[in-house]
Structure formats: C-alpha cells, structure tokens
Amino acid sequence: MSQKLCPAIVLAATLLIHSSSVLDAGAPQAAPTNAGNRPIICSVMESFEEQKLGMRAIVFHQRDKADGPRLGDLLLKHSGEEMELEASGGSRYRATVFRVKSCFGRGLAIIPTDRLKLGENDQFTLRLP
C-alpha cells in the first residue's frame, strides 16, 4: 500500500469524527469481548495534528508481534468506538479508535489535541473502557 494513502485516511477520519461528534462520552458502548478485557501495548507509527479542528490522529500497531491477532480482533469488533489510551505516566484518555482496513494490522485513534500528545515510536496501552 502506498504510504501516501494513510495520511489521506487519517484526514478523512478526522473530518468524519469532528463532524459527527463521536467523542461524546455519553455514547452507548458495546459490551467488552475477551480480546478487549486485556490491555494491549501499542506503538505510534505516525501522529497528525489538525489545529483548526483541535484533533490529533494517531496511526498505531501492537508493540509485541504476539499481540497482533488480539489487536486485529479488538479493532474489527469495536472499530469506531471509544476506547482508553493509557500514557506511560499512567494517565488515561478516551479516544475514538478505528480499524484501518487499507493498512493491514493498523489502528487509528482520534483524540482532541489538548488531551494527549503522542509522537512517532511513543507507546501507550489500549483497552476498552
């Protein structure tokens, strides 16, 4: 896949999230699955900030190769839902997370820029709330 497509996907998702207010904390959540019960440590591949909308898009994958199937299952079952991202300092943040179909084994997290600043190679723990 072309590396030029991933940023386009991120921008489209950012605009979609902002226009539909998916980050609403009161939105109903699906029941956790077994894959979602255990946290998965993830690594940031790319991070984009859109200052006008106040949103950050984070493209990520699992840190440990063995967690690939669990992450894939979690993203497949809960794409577009709110999840928790835990930073290295222990602070937890809510973000809307998507499965990126055209980037195999990748996730996309959308979060307001003032909440969490993650850059390339940073790590975080992903879990269902």
Residue type, 111: I
d(C-alpha 48, C-alpha 86), whole Å: 19
Tokens found for residue 115: 């909440």
Residue type, 64: D
Domain ranges of the chain: 5-21+36-127
Q: Which residue has the higher pLDDT, 114 or 18?
A: 114
Q: Quick one: which H or E segment has residue 29?
A: none
d(C-alpha 88, C-alpha 122), whole Å: 9
81-124 confidence digits (pLDDT tens): 999 999 988 899 999 999 998 877 899 999 998 888 888 999 99
d(C-alpha 30, C-alpha 41), whole Å: 21
Q: Is 127 a residue whose pLDDT tops 60?
A: yes
Q: What percent of the chain has pLDDT over 70?
A: 71
Task: Among 2.40.30.10, 2.40.110.10, 3.30.70.380, 3.30.230.10, name the CATH number for the domain at 5-21+36-127.
Answer: 2.40.30.10
Residue type, 51: Q
36-66 confidence digits (pLDDT tens): 478 999 999 999 999 999 999 999 999 999 9
- Note the pLDDT of residue 45: 96
- Note the pLDDT of residue 27: 37
- Note the pLDDT of residue 3: 52
